[in-house]
Amino acid sequence: MAKGPQKKAFALRLDPALHACVERLAASEFRSVNAEIEVLLREALERRGIRVERTDPPRRGRPPSDPA
């Protein structure tokens, strides 16, 4: 089975006060802290004129059955 592009994992050290703010914002938007950081980074890059294309998310569930 072919896998799509994997997300890049890395350690990110944040000031605890900054993390608390992002955590509250994420909760209010019904997102994880990780997803909220992605949104904030994309918004910041767009404000600087850099458009980041979204990659297709990995397909979930069972693969389609083979009609053969």
CA 34, CA 31: separation in Å to the nearest integer? 8
* Alpha carbon distances (Å) from 44 to 3, 53, 60, 66, 67: 29, 14, 30, 44, 46
- pTM comes to 0.72
What is the pLDDT at residue 1? 47
Contacts made by residues 34-40, CB under 8 angstroms, sequence distance 24+? 37/12
Per-residue pLDDT tens digits of the chain, which is 68 residues long: 455 567 889 999 999 999 999 999 999 999 999 999 999 999 999 999 999 888 877 777 887 787 76
Q: How many CA atoms lie within 13 A of 51 on its CB side?
A: 1
What is the pLDDT at residue 68? 65
Residue pair 60/10 in contact (Cβ under 8 Å)? The answer is no
